[in-house]
Structure 1
Amino acid sequence: MGSTSLIFLLSLSFLHFFHQPLLLVAADADFIRKTCKKTDYYDLCVSSLKSNSTSANADTKGLAVIMVGIGMVNATATSSYLSTQLLSTTNDTLMKKVLKECSDKYSYATDALHASLQDLAMESYDYANMHIMAAADYPNACHNAFKRYSGLAYPPEIARREEGLKRICDVVLGIIDLLGW
C-alpha cells in the first residue's frame, strides 16, 4: 500500500472522531492555496493536501485533520524506523538505549497528534494547539538524547525526519489559527 493510500485511509478513519456532522465544502485548489498561504511551509502544505483526495471536499477544519493524519503517518513511520535501527545495532548498547528512547518519543508524538484529532472534533482548538506543539517537541527530546552522550552523532536520517515532523506540525498550527479560536 502506498503512502498516499495509507494517508487517505487514515484520514477517513479520523472522521469518526467528529461528534457533530462535519461541514464539507468544496476545497478546490484555490481554497487549498489560500489556506496554505497562511502557514509557514506553503509548498509542504499544498503538496500534502493536494495528494490527499479527501481534501477536495474538506473545510478548514477538515484540512487540519488531514494534515494531522499526515503527521501521524510521519511519526509512526519514524518510530518504526528507529525500532528497526535498534534491532540492527546489535553491539552498541548505548546506541540501542538512545534509539529506544527516540522510538518512544515519536510514539508519544503520534499519541499527541491523535489527541489533537479529538480536540479538533470538539472544537477545542486551544487543546488541539497544545497537543500539536507537544508532538512537534517530542523529536527535540530525541535530539537531546543524542546530545547527552558525546560519543554519539545524531544521524542525518533522524534529523531529516525530525525536521519533517516539525514542519508538518507547523502547517497544522497555521491551519488551526484560521479556525478563529
Structure 2
Amino acid sequence: MGFSWFLMLLFILFISLNPISSTSDLIQKTCKNTKYYDLCVNSLKSDSSSSKADCKGLALIMVKVGMANATATSSYLSSQMLSVTNDASMKKVMKECADKYASAYDAFGNSVQDLSVEMYDYAYMDVMAASDYTNACHNAFKRYPGLIYPQPLAIREDGLKRICDIVLGIFDTLAS
C-alpha cells in the first residue's frame, strides 16, 4: 500500500508540474521567433495568465504590455507638458507626442479585436502602426530647430518598438 501511494503521489506531482513545463516551453519556443528573446520571456512569464495561454494568448498578453507602455508614455508626456509652461514649441511637441502614444494605444486595441477573429494580417498592420506612431513623435522634434529629443522619451520609444517587434514575431508564428 505504501509504494502504490508513493506512485500515486508521484503521478499527481508529475501531472501538476507538466503544464507549467509545457507553458514554459511554449513561451520559450514562441519567444525564439522574436527579436528580443529575453524581454519576451520575462514579459510573458511576469503575467500569471501566461500559464494557461496558447500562442494566441501569449500574443494578446504582449499586445496588452504594449498598450500599458503606450498609456504610460502618453501620461508621462502629458505630465511633462506642465513643466515646460514657458516653452510654447516644446509644449506643442509634447502634446503632439502624447497624442501619438494615445493613438498607439488605440492601434494596439484594434490589434486585439483583429486577433480575436484571427485576422492576423490586420493585427500585424495595427501593431506596425503603433510602432510608427513613435517615429511620428520623434520626427515632431525635428520640425522645431533647437528642440532636443529627451533621453527619457528615447528610452520609452525604444521600449515600445521592442515590444512591437516581439508582438510581430509572435504574429508571424501564428500566421505560419
TM-score normalised over the length of structure 2: 0.87
In structure 2, the residue matched to 1:35 is 30
SS at match of 1:28: helix
Cα deviation per residue 1:57-83 (whole Å; 9 max; x = unaligned)?
Answer: 000000000000000000000000000
1:92 equivalent in alignment to 2:87: yes
Q: How does 1:1-181 map to 2 (within 5 A)?
A: 28-180=23-175
Runs of 4+ residues over 3 Å off in structure 1:
none
Structure showing greater radius of gyration is 2
- Percentage identity across paired residues of the two chains: 66
Work out the CA distance in 2 between the residues paired with 1:141 and 1:163.
13
Aligned residues: 157
SS at match of 1:49: helix
SS at match of 1:128: helix
TM-score normalised over the length of structure 1: 0.85
Cα deviation per residue 1:14-63 (whole Å; 9 max; x = unaligned)?
Answer: xxxxxxxxxxx865211111110010000110000010010010000000
Work out the CA distance in 2 between the residues paired with 1:56 and 1:173.
21
Work out the CA distance in 2 between the residues paired with 1:77 and 1:138.
15
Q: RMSD across aligned C-alpha pairs, in angstroms?
A: 1.1
Instruction: Report deviation, 1:149.
Output: 1.1
Unaligned runs of 5+ residues in structure 1 are 1-24
Work out the CA distance in 2 between the residues paired with 1:115 and 1:40.
23
Instruction: Report deviation, 1:180.
Output: 2.3
SS at match of 2:161: helix
Bigger fraction of residues in helix: 2
